[in-house]
């Protein structure tokens, strides 16, 4: 079917609040194409913005009938929600919303709901759930692909209770412990490879679990010079390995603003306790003599406000996260050298940050009925490469690879862990541990998406 006929057909089928955008110069089309990263972005022949769950189903069915390839998009932070002129993007931006069931400790999240939307709606109920470090990241994809990690309640996918799921035949399927339980297992870690999830119901938790009544945690910012790296690593180890308090945080290798000329270590620990207790707990960092420091409270509602700068749209960005069974100071030193090497060879990559992220072991039960399978991973390497010159694609990519290799030095290949929400290049064996898990996922793929309508992954 010609693209113009498909656009007319779809326009006639969808409710009046939906939009079918076929003009790449129209403001709505341009706004939808504005993404977190311009790396690998393709332009479809149309962008469909369904306004209701029924419209999402109709869109998928009409695309399947007409043989038009499509990709769903929620927050647009991945490189996989764009498609070329042969297909359409099903942009869920108009179909969003959160319903909270405070008594049952559940929330239902629709379509393109973003992380900040979820936080803001839960906050008045004094409840929280797993959220990522990015206010504009799409909630559903974050949950489907794992969702790193909340020390009190574990990975996001573990907290999925039920879903409404469209399969490759365009059928809407209810998924829960009682309806299609194998599929529930599958979408808890690999949902984006199996179908389109229009709604997700997730567990919520009272703020009282966090030890206070307003969802508060203490957030530190400690900035060090590279010459202090040994001492910082030793202090970090004490903090991350302590069972005294629940903590998590980042140790970022970045260039310091405003002139971006100096590499620094920005340690941003978060802890659930009073300001006085936090100041004592972070003493090992303070004793090193940070060049700048701050300790401020933050609430769940404002969970990632301090990281809004990494959510900026545009430029070229790669984001890669790998799990680390352990880390060494020597490896981290090498990471700092590689970061410096990157900035020296690509000055336009000056906003790149290589980060070690830790979480104290989760308080909740580790047993996870999910296909994700990384429930014991508490330490992650986050590589955010951010640059502007298209001539540097290959160089930045190769430095990203070197950075991964540096932090994996000393780890057996069988223990390599990659995060499927940020890489699809690495082998399935790194992303889903154990042969049984991969077999289980392949079986589900054959059942729900045998021809690869929703990516060719797992086929």
Ligand X SMILES: Cc1cc2nc3c(=O)[nH]c(=O)nc-3n(C[C@H](O)[C@H](O)[C@H](O)COP(=O)(O)OP(=O)(O)OC[C@H]3O[C@@H](n4cnc5c(N)ncnc54)[C@H](O)[C@@H]3O)c2cc1C
Binding site for ligand X (CB under 6 A): 36, 71-78, 80-81, 92, 132-134, 137-138, 140-142, 144-148, 191-192, 196-197, 310-311, 319, 421-422
For ligand X, give the closer residue by CB, 204 or 304: 304
Our measurement of the distance from residue 262's CA atom to the centroid of its chain's CA atoms, rounded to an integer in Å, reads 29
Residue nearest to ligand X (CB): 138
CB of 116 to ligand X, least distance (A): 12
Where does residue 177 rank: exposed (0-12), middle (13-18), buried (19+ CB within 10 A)? exposed
For ligand X, give the closer residue by CB, 22 or 189: 189
Write the Ramachandran bin of 328: left for phi over 0, alpha for psi from -120 to 50, otherwise beta. beta
SS3 call for 444: helix
CB of 188 to ligand X, least distance (A): 13
CB of 146 to ligand X, least distance (A): 6
Which of 277, 282, 175, 158 shows the shortest CA–CA distance to 232? 282
Q: How far apart are CA 386 and CA 315, in angstroms?
A: 7
For ligand X, give the closer residue by CB, 83 or 267: 83
**Where does 193-347 show beta strands of DSSP type E?**
196-203, 205-206, 217-224, 247-255, 263-271, 292-298, 316-323
SS3 call for 295: strand
Write the Ramachandran bin of 37: left for phi over 0, alpha for psi from -120 to 50, otherwise beta. beta
CB of 240 to ligand X, least distance (A): 17
329-333, Cβ contacts within 8 angstroms, sequence gap of 24 or more: 329/229, 329/230, 329/233, 329/234, 330/409, 331/406, 331/407, 331/409, 331/410, 332/229, 332/233, 332/251, 332/356, 332/407, 333/229
Helices and strands: H and E segment counts in the chain: 13, 19
CB of 225 to ligand X, least distance (A): 26
Scanning 346-386, the segments in alpha helix (DSSP H) are none
For ligand X, give the closer residue by CB, 92 or 264: 92
CB of 91 to ligand X, least distance (A): 8
For ligand X, give the closer residue by CB, 229 or 444: 444
CB of 3 to ligand X, least distance (A): 20
For ligand X, give the closer residue by CB, 132 or 290: 132
Strand (E) or helix (H) holding 89:
strand 88-91
For ligand X, give the closer residue by CB, 199 or 228: 199
For ligand X, give the closer residue by CB, 197 or 273: 197
CB of 349 to ligand X, least distance (A): 16
Q: How far apart are CA 186 and CA 410, in angstroms?
A: 32
CB of 154 to ligand X, least distance (A): 12
For ligand X, give the closer residue by CB, 157 or 235: 157
DSSP 401-438: HHHHHHHHTTS-GGG-EE-TTT-SSS-HHHHS-SHHHH
């Amino acid at each position: 079917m010609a693209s113009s006929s498909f656009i007319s057909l779809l326009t006639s089928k969808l409710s009046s609040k939906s939009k079918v955008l076929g003009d790449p110069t129209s403001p709505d089309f341009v706004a939808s194409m504005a993404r977190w990263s311009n790396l690998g972005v393709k332009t479809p022949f149309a962008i469909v913005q369904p306004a209701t769950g029924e419209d999402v189903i109709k869109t998928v069915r009409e695309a399947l009938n007409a043989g038009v390839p499509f990709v769903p998009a929620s927050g647009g932070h991945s490189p996989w929600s764009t498609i070329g002129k042969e297909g359409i993007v099903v942009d869920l931006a108009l179909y969003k919303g959160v319903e909270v069931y405070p008594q049952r400790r559940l929330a239902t999240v629709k379509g393109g709901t973003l992380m900040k939307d979820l936080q803001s709606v839960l906050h008045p109920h004094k409840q929280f759930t797993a959220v990522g470090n990015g206010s504009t990241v799409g909630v559903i994809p974050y949950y489907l692909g794992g969702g790193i990690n909340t020390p009190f309640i574990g990975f996001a996918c573990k907290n999925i209770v039920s879903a409404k799921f469209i399969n490759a035949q365009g059928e809407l399927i209810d998924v829960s412990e009682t309806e299609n339980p194998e599929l529930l297992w599958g979408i808890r870690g690999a949902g984006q490879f199996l179908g389109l999830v229009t709604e997700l119901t997730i567990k919520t938790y009272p703020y009282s679990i966090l030890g206070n009544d307003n969802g508060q945690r203490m957030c530190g910012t400690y900035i060090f010079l590279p010459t202090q790296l040994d001492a910082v690593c030793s202090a970090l180890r004490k903090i991350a390995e302590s069972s005294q308090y629940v903590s998590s945080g980042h140790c970022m290798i970045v260039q310091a603003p405003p002139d971006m000329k100096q590499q620094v270590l920005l340690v941003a620990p978060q802890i659930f306790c009073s300001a006085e207790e936090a100041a004592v707990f972070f003493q090992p960092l303070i004793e090193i003599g940070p060049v700048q420091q701050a300790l401020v409270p933050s609430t769940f509602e404002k969970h990632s406000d301090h990281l809004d700068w990494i959510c900026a749209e545009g430029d070229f960005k790669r984001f890669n996260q790998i799990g680390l069974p352990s880390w060494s100071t020597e490896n981290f030193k090498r990471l700092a050298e590689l970061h410096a090497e990157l900035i020296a060879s690509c000055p336009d990559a000056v906003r790149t940050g290589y980060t070690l992220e830790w979480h104290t072991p989760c308080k909740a039960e580790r047993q996870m009925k999910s296909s994700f399978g990384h429930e014991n991973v508490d330490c992650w390497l986050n590589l955010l490469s951010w640059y502007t010159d298209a001539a540097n694609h290959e160089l930045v990519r190769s430095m990203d690879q070197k950075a991964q290799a540096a932090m994996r030095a000393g780890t057996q290949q069988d223990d390599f862990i990659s995060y499927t929400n940020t890489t699809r290049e690495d082998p399935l064996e790194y992303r889903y541990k154990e042969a049984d898990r991969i077999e289980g996922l392949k079986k589900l793929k054959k059942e729900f998406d045998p021809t690869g309508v929703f990516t060719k992954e797992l086929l």
